[in-house]
Amino acid sequence: MVPQMSTTNVTAPEQTESIDVIDGGEAVVVVRDGVTRRFPSRWLRLLVSGTGNVDPASGHRLFDSVSLPSEFKVRSATYLEESGQWEIRFEGETRGTPIDLERLLVSTVIEEIDGPERTPFSSADPPSRAVDYEMLEAPAALRSFLDTLLRRGYARVRDVPRSSTELERFTRRLRLEQGLLPPGCFEEAFSGDRDGDDPSSLHASVHTDSPYRDPVPAFHLRLCLESSGKGGEMIVADGMSIAATLATEEPFAAVELARWPMLFARQGAKDDLRRAVPMLEMTQDGGLQRITFNDRAAIDFTCPDDRLPVCAGAYDTLARIVQREGLQNRFRVQPGDLLIVDNERVLHGHLPLIGSGSQRHACGYVGRGDLMSTWRRARSGLLD
């Protein structure tokens, strides 16, 4: 029987860390600030590649996992007090490899991946307070702004220069993108009911933007360029509150919408975009991960024929809940007002314009990975 090797637990300033070598060196147990994880030794060797094996620009490894021997063992783990780091020595290697525990355990820290804890909202909560655009040039202000966006699901900015070019510049700022390629901004315009007809077709009820694209745009930006007349207020509705209401009132409807995908499509003269996705996607602990709802782009459930009546009833229930004023926040927008929404969580739309009014918006998107990268750098004080 191979004796078990282990290190002595070490208490570092303001945190508790330990690494135990177990199973004769075939694995190690890493503990830091109450987080514990067991690593097979070969997997650990892959994760703690030395600086000479990592691209400094991207942080990617410069070798493939198949290049490592199939059997790998840890000989020892030592805490170096002078540097405040752990060093791992693998069998067959003469030099120790320093490891970064924060990077090693990052996948166990949800906040590092998903951002701050989400805060649901309803009409009882005041609309998110708008931030002055000029303030967002300061890294600290941008960090606070992104915190608000990730917690609440939407954020507002005022006094933005009214041009698509400025929206493109701000989109690059959120993406930390310094290149010259535009991020794909576009303009939309809508007008009021000039002839006294029913204006319901002239406004957008709350919806997920572009649900027929794969992937769905994560964050939607909308800058008001022009606005005249009455009406046209923006609407945002929180998916967390909507999903909770549905699960409380019709739990079986929530289960069906999470189980069977809805086919969303955009089929026009220049497009034939299609995507099938459940309208509700839940996390392992039962929380809402994503809501996808677009009453005008929904085509049909991809489910067995005998489940269609149940799914159709569930859809009707959700559509009615989405329209409840108590779950919506509404606010007027003026030229220079910018709204950013988490398109995977918050539904957005606008009320119809009255009379001869009109509005013109510049719109754009930011990917979740891009924005989360900016948020992490802001959190670490690394933004320029």
pLDDT at 200 over 50: no
Distance CA 97, CA 229 (A): 67
Prediction pTM value: 0.79
DSSP letters for 133-153 = GGGGGSHHHHHHHHHHHHHHS
Residue 183: its pLDDT value, please? 54
pLDDT at site 336: 96
**pLDDT tens column, 210-244:** 999 998 999 999 999 999 888 889 999 999 999 99
Domains and CATH numbers, the chain: 10-108 (3.30.2020.30), 131-379 (3.60.130.10)
**pLDDT tens-place string over residues 34-71:** 888 888 988 888 877 666 677 777 777 777 787 778 78
pLDDT of 3 above 60? no
Contacts of residue 322, Cβ cutoff 8 Å, sequence gap at least 6: 205, 206, 237, 242, 293, 347
Confidence check: pLDDT of 125 > 70: yes
pLDDT digits (tens, 9 = 90+) for 280-295: 998 877 788 999 999 9
What is the mean pLDDT of the segment spanning 338-365?
92
Q: How confident is the model at residue 205 (pLDDT cuts 50, 70, 90)?
A: confident
